[in-house]
Structure 1
Amino acid sequence: MRGIGGPLLCIGDLLTDVGEADPHSDQPSPLSPSSSPSMPFSPHTLQPSHLNRLFQENYDQLNKAFAGTDHSWTALTLKLCTALQTANTLVQSTNTNVELLSEKVGELERVVKRGDSAVAAAKAIHISLNQKDH
Structure 2
Amino acid sequence: MVLAITNAFVTLGVADFPKVIDFYRQFLNQEPQPFIPNVYGEFRLTGGLRLGIFQPKAQHSSEFSNSNQSGMSLCLEVENLSSAIAHLTALGYPPPGEITTASHGREIYAYDPAGNRLILHQSNS
Whether TM exceeds 0.5 here: the answer is: no
TM-score (norm 1): 0.20
RCO higher in structure (CA 8 A, sep ≥6) = 2
